[in-house]
Amino acid sequence: MDTEKLHLDTLAVRAGIERSQFNEHSEALYLTSSFVFANAAQAAARFSGAEPGYTYSRFTNPTVTAFQARLAALEGAEACVATASGMSAILATVMGLMKAGDHIVSSHSIFGATVQLFSTLLPKFGVTTTFVDGTDVSAWERALTPSTRMLFVETPSNPLTEIADIAALAAIARRAGVLLVVDNCFCSPALQRPLDLGADLVVHSATKHLDGQGRVMGGAVAGRADLVTEGIFPFLRTAGPSLSPFNAWVLLKGMETLGVRMQAQSARALILAQWLEMRPEIERVYYPGLTSHPQHVLAMRQQKSGGSIVSFVVRGGREAAWRVVDATRIISITANLGDTKTTITHPASTTHGRISPEARAAAGIGEGLLRLAVGLEHTEDLTRDLERGLAKV
C-alpha cells in the first residue's frame, strides 16, 4: 500500500495489515512467545538476521509489527519500534542513542516521570539534563553545550498545555547537529505530525489517545530509520521492555478510530474550556484552542485543533480544587488521559507529586490546578458535573 498518498483516517484503519494464509479481514492476534524453524540452519539464519522472519516475541512479533507499521504511517515515519509503555519509549530512546557524558536539553513542563528519569536516574549513568522554558526558543539555544546530544520537548505540555515551536527547535537542532525528540502524546498524529516539522523522532505513550479507551499500556518511538532501527531497536532487543502482542492488537483496534475521536474530543474540550473561562471560581484556563492561550496562534499553526486536555486553576488552592474533584459523579478521578471517559486529576498531588516542590513551582504546577482530559460524554453532563463542585468553592 502506498501510504504517502492516503489520508490519516484511511491509514488508521488500513495501514500495517499483512494477512496470514487464512486471509482474515481483521488484524490477527499472534499470542506466541516464539516461532518455529524448519531446521537448524534456518534458526541460525533467523537469529543472525541473514534471513528475515520472526524468532522470539521479545523483539519480533507480527501483531507488534503491524502496530509499528500503522503508527509509522500515521506519523509519516521511516521506522517505528513499540515499547511496553510511554516511559520505556523515552528510556529506550536515551539508552539507545546516548552515552555517559552526553547532555540533554529538555523543556521543564514535561510529564512528571520524565522529569524523574532525566533528573535522578540518568545522572547515575553520566547523562545530564538542563531544563528550560519550552516556549522560549532562545533559552534552548543558550542551554546547548558541546556535549548536548538531544533536545526533548513535549508539546502541548502536561498539564499546562504550553506550546513549543517544533519547527524553530528543529532548526536549532539541525544547526547544532543534535537530535530533536518530541513527545506527541497530547496531540497524537491525528492533530500534529512533528516529523513533518523537522523533528528527528517522536515518542508516544500509546496508553493514551492511541488506545483511546483506557485499556492497555504501550509506547513507541518513530522517526529516522538509522536512529530507530540501528540505535534504539538493539537496546529493546537486549533489555526487553517490549510491547505485548495482545496490547499491540488492542492498540491497532484503538487507532482505527483515532481521527474521529480526536476531532470529537477536541470539540468538546473547546466547549468546556470556554465554559470554564466564564466561571468566577476559576482563576485561569489553559487550553491551546482558546484565543487567551499565550501560544494560541502557534498552536493553531502546528496543530489541527486544541486537543482534548484542558487545565484550570480553581481559586482557593488545594482545598478548593479537591472539592471540585470530590463532587464529580460522572468524571473519573484518575490520572490517565486520552480516554473516551473524561478524567480529572490534581497534578500537584498525583502525576507531579514525586518531583520537588521547587521543580513543581518552576513548572507552574500550583495547588489549585486541575487537569481535565475530555472524553466523549455530552458536554452538558460534564459541565453539570463540574458545576456541583464549583458551587461549593
Smallest separation, CB 88 to ligand PLP (Å): 7
Smallest separation, CB 380 to ligand PLP (Å): 28
Pick the closer one to ligand PLP by CB: 61 or 85. 85
Pick the closer one to ligand PLP by CB: 46 or 193. 193
Pick the closer one to ligand PLP by CB: 102 or 183. 183
CA angle 29, 35, 39 (to 5 degrees): 150
Contact residues toward ligand PLP (CB under 6 A) are 85-87, 111, 113, 154, 158, 183, 185, 205, 207, 217, 219
Residue 370 φ then ψ, to 5°: -125, 145
Question: In which residue are the cell numbers 543472525 written?
Answer: 48
Smallest separation, CB 208 to ligand PLP (Å): 6
SS3 286: strand
Pick the closer one to ligand PLP by CB: 250 or 393. 250
Pick the closer one to ligand PLP by CB: 115 or 324. 115
Smallest separation, CB 68 to ligand PLP (Å): 16
Q: Which of 65, 31, 35 is nearest to 47 (CA)?
A: 35
- Closest residue to ligand PLP, judged by C-beta, is 86
Q: What's the rounded Cα separation, in Å, for the pair 37 and 302?
A: 48
Smallest separation, CB 90 to ligand PLP (Å): 7
**AA identity, residue 391:** A
Pick the closer one to ligand PLP by CB: 176 or 309. 309
Q: What's the rounded Cα separation, in Å, for the pair 197 and 195?
A: 5
3-state SS, one letter per residue, for 13-64: HHCCCCCCCCCCCCCCCCCCCECCCCCHHHHHHHHHCCCCCCCECCCCCHHH
Smallest separation, CB 319 to ligand PLP (Å): 25
Smallest separation, CB 177 to ligand PLP (Å): 26
Pairing state of beta strands 201-205 and 179-183?
A: parallel
Residue 86 φ then ψ, to 5°: -65, -40
Pick the closer one to ligand PLP by CB: 138 or 349. 349
Q: What is the DSSP letter of 243?
A: P
SS3 302: helix
Q: How many CB atoms lie under 10 A from the CB of residue 336?
A: 17
